[in-house]
Chains A and B, each alone.
Chain A
């Protein structure tokens, strides 16, 4: 029996019916199968997914560094989303920006709703909390994020935000991201994206150092990935206007519409913004990926080709050559230590794809991959979007439509220019994303919304050398003798982006696989024939 069937076999008929479309094998014939995705998790199944609030406050809104983000609700949600995602930030130092800009992401703000606030409504307390934030911190902006009870008791957080704006002249934006909305964090990304487009982007303007000015969308600067990316792009002569939303300031986001190209890192969490920016302001977007050596090279070349300036194209080649020379020895060493290993990946909405490319750079093949909260287009590519049917949960998430803004509309390439570019560079994903499956080997397992049982079983059956996932399942995998590294927090390491990041990643993988204690799990007096640990044993030499 193939591993997929062996794992699904244990399920009851009802659970099997629900899971069968989410667990597939990559076909031998190179076709792209239809993947079950973005649908409700069954109760009791031990999904690793989080909620709408986690996607909105935790992922997209939380990283904005100079804003007071108040969680409106009982204390837990705000507490758990406090400083736990490793979205790094440093003060912006330029122009009108103050050098000692306090990093508000170090703080946790909550209305800490108590029973009377639930019974009699929490709007007054929310308003008071905003007033106190204004009095103590004089912030440029206040964001309000809703938790489950807020929607249920009917607090109008948008009205409170409007009254704060009116009375105190501070930007105040509310996000209706109650935890029960949608089926995963993905709903929260969407809600956050909508409000950024509606309320923030297009309200500011800043000088453009050169026409090669881009935004990096879906870069949350986990472990400092965005820092490496900005550094590398700067060296090439490409200017980063803003990142959505790692290390972002409210002013950078407000003037994001002025950039000439949007680079999309995490397609899942931010593609709505990319689409809406194109419609409203005319800016093209491009799916790029700075995770992996080859992926970084391709991304840099794609960007340079988009702008079409020979000096820029040449400069990109120089930088690539310099970086490759700098890390050649390290890369060769890690490749030697890692080639032939196998990996399983279960991460959010893009990393399961991105990291396959980085692993491939080091000779590691991916035998299992899945997303926690992706949609079909993240697996199969954007061509399927028109055919995706919204279910009841999807329909509850607001979709906004935007119109062309004639005053701010600007295009770098004409439509003909873009078409010509696409014809010349068929691999370039301009206003497009081809999905994860196309990059996977036949026979590999795809698993959407992988739950604890499936993780345990697949790791047992497929025996990958390394499994990449989050903190909740990490130690279960590791207790079973398989190395497991967190790919949400990078196990407190990183950055993993670009050339330098690839070296960091290689170093971390070798370090983890070759830690001598792996070979000492069984006590010597336990007279067992062989050690069961599925990882390489012995020193690094």
Chain B
């Protein structure tokens, strides 16, 4: 596996090998799935949306409804206005969503299609909506596209009226439906009145009913997005991802926001709950405190297997920062932390965490980098466990490293989207899986005389 990867590292300026990110539009599509009765719409050639539906479906094992402008060579030369006008009309006629969320592609960005004008000029059926955002694939990553689509919905829809609705707005970075369910569970337990935007739970984890619905029950409603302007405050989860939608809402409706780290791990979940208490005046109930106690109990019970073990973590910035924080709390050493998404802030944020735990001399963080680099790093300095997306399985196999799948995408396993990563419960699952991977490796590789039936 990956036999052509040499140990010697060569500086690369142009060749990306084994990417650790993908393009903006798929993020915009995923954000739009978190809106109820919404059809995501890719303004470009039909291959983009085919790939995006494919990768999202392979991760969630669920139908992903989305359409495209089906650009031909002619449209690429003369502009995509008529494609967009025809395309949105066809969508309303055939699939009948309440809203169409358009995002651009590198094709429509390069030719400079003016979506704002196109949408202004088109006839939209009574009671229906079309919104858009710009997601040039040659900037940022899928994470940026997710944030751009959130900001797009807000700019079009959110309003400040005379009547505050008393709700807290919660903007999560790219989250699994399981994480959104847990977040809502915590807020419900605390008695908080909130709008969670976007909310893909109930959409990409819908039950088997023997009845297919193009638009399942889940998703933030259009009225809730309108009402974001009347919310008391915004709580953003994920310092890397959500500033853009927070700024969009602040600019349009003057709603202030607090942005905290994505709540993976003990400290980050503590931070979430403290912030919820601070912003709403609601207390943290015993049920959640009990979970916290179970998590600490688990970490201490199993630390003999994970403490001082080294790991490499890769994926999207906010997710990786959260996992890094958790493994540090477990006493592990996150030797290599890497994201494909560009942004100088990422290594600085990692560095701050390394320093907090006094491991800055042993750990390195990389932004705008790839899995070829990560493979070479662990070839030179092995780690005890690898944590990241399914593409890490190549490195894990090549270097015989225990592997824990986490983040997006995970295309080679089923059911992961049903179990949380965030909160105390999500951390418990991480701890169980990390220690399990290390212990399985011991079981598989030790000699018979060292083989323990009790561990």
Of B44, B94, B111, B209, which one neighbours A45 at CB under 8 angstroms? B94
Give the nearest-CB partner of B50 in chain A. Answer: A50
Of A74, A111, A475, which one neighbours B57 at CB under 8 angstroms? A475
Give the docked Cα–Cα distance between A255 and B15 (Å): 30
* Contact A183 B72, beta carbon cutoff 8 Å: yes
In the complex, per-residue mask of A451-480: 1 if CB is within 8 Å of any chain B CB, else 0: 011001000000000000011111111111
The residues of A that contact B141 with a CB separation of less than 8 Å are: 75
In the complex, per-residue mask of A38-63: 1 if CB is within 8 Å of any chain B CB, else 0: 00111111111111111000000000
The residues of B that contact A533 with a CB separation of less than 8 Å are: 210
* Contact A51 B136, beta carbon cutoff 8 Å: no
Given contacts A40-B70, A129-B15, A477-B212, contact A74 B137 (CB under 8 A): yes
- Give the segment of B81-89, B158-166, B225-233, B432-440 that binds chain A: B81-89
- CB of B347 within 8 A of chain A? no
Given contacts A100-B3, A109-B16, A152-B111, contact A472 B54 (CB under 8 A): yes
Interface residues on A, range: 35 or more
* Contact B14 A125, beta carbon cutoff 8 Å: yes
Of B1, B52, B55, B75, which one neighbours A180 at CB under 8 angstroms? B75
Given contacts A51-B47, A153-B110, contact A43 B23 (CB under 8 A): no
The residues of A that contact B61 with a CB separation of less than 8 Å are: 475
- CB of A104 within 8 A of chain B? yes
- CB of A107 within 8 A of chain B? yes
- CB of A398 within 8 A of chain B? no
> Least Cβ distance of B387 to chain A in Å?
20
Of B12, B110, B139, B214, which one neighbours A114 at CB under 8 angstroms? B139
In the complex, per-residue mask of B270-288: 1 if CB is within 8 Å of any chain A CB, else 0: 0000000000000000000
Of A53, A125, A128, A396, which one neighbours B47 at CB under 8 angstroms? A53
The residues of B that contact A396 with a CB separation of less than 8 Å are: 73
The residues of B that contact A115 with a CB separation of less than 8 Å are: 136, 138-139
Give the nearest-CB partner of B1 in chain A. Answer: A106
* Contact B3 A103, beta carbon cutoff 8 Å: yes
* Contact A44 B41, beta carbon cutoff 8 Å: yes
> Least Cβ distance of B260 to chain A in Å?
29
- CB of A282 within 8 A of chain B? no
Give the docked Cα–Cα distance between A476 and B62 (Å): 7
* Contact B10 A47, beta carbon cutoff 8 Å: no
- CB of B206 within 8 A of chain A? yes
- CB of A532 within 8 A of chain B? yes
> Can you list 12 A-B contacts (CB < 8 A)?
A46-B94, A54-B47, A80-B52, A103-B3, A104-B4, A107-B17, A132-B13, A471-B57, A473-B63, A478-B208, A479-B209, A521-B208
The residues of B that contact A472 with a CB separation of less than 8 Å are: 50, 53-54, 57, 63-64
Give the docked Cα–Cα distance between A121 and B137 (Å): 15
> Least Cβ distance of A183 to chain B in Å?
7
- CB of A118 within 8 A of chain B? yes
- Give the segment of A133-141, A348-356, A401-409 that binds chain B: A133-141
Give the nearest-CB partner of B11 in chain A. Answer: A132
Given contacts A41-B70, A113-B138, contact A75 B21 (CB under 8 A): yes
The residues of A that contact B65 with a CB separation of less than 8 Å are: 46, 452, 476
Interface residues of B in 87-116 (CB under 8 A from A): 87-91, 93-95, 105-107, 110-111
Give the docked Cα–Cα distance between A349 and B92 (Å): 30
Of A112, A393, A476, which one neighbours B73 at CB under 8 angstroms? A393
Interface residues of A in 43-99 (CB under 8 A from B): 43-54, 70, 73-80, 82-84
- CB of B30 within 8 A of chain A? no
Give the docked Cα–Cα distance between A532 and B212 (Å): 12
From A54, A115, A127, A179, residue with most partner B Cβ within 10 Å: A179
- CB of A110 within 8 A of chain B? yes
Give the docked Cα–Cα distance between A476 and B391 (Å): 26
Closest 10 CB pairs of A and B: A51-B47, A76-B23, A43-B87, A44-B87, A44-B90, A481-B210, A128-B14, A102-B4, A74-B137, A112-B16
Given contacts A75-B19, A475-B57, contact A51 B106 (CB under 8 A): no
Give the nearest-CB partner of A136 in chain B. Answer: B10
* Contact B58 A471, beta carbon cutoff 8 Å: yes
* Contact A108 B90, beta carbon cutoff 8 Å: no
Given contacts A43-B86, A75-B22, contact A117 B138 (CB under 8 A): yes
* Contact B45 A132, beta carbon cutoff 8 Å: no
Interface residues of B in 172-217 (CB under 8 A from A): 206, 208-214
Give the docked Cα–Cα distance between A181 and B137 (Å): 19
* Contact A149 B12, beta carbon cutoff 8 Å: no
* Contact A47 B70, beta carbon cutoff 8 Å: yes
- CB of B451 within 8 A of chain A? no
* Contact B51 A152, beta carbon cutoff 8 Å: no
From A46, A73, A471, residue with most partner B Cβ within 10 Å: A46
* Contact A136 B41, beta carbon cutoff 8 Å: no
* Contact A179 B210, beta carbon cutoff 8 Å: no
Give the docked Cα–Cα distance between A317 and B3 (Å): 42
- CB of B18 within 8 A of chain A? yes
* Contact A149 B88, beta carbon cutoff 8 Å: no
Of B2, B47, B206, which one neighbours A179 at CB under 8 angstroms? B47
> Least Cβ distance of A270 to chain B in Å?
20
From A11, A76, A393, A531, residue with most partner B Cβ within 10 Å: A76
Give the docked Cα–Cα distance between A45 and B86 (Å): 10
Of B52, B57, B67, B139, which one neighbours A474 at CB under 8 angstroms? B57
- CB of B308 within 8 A of chain A? no
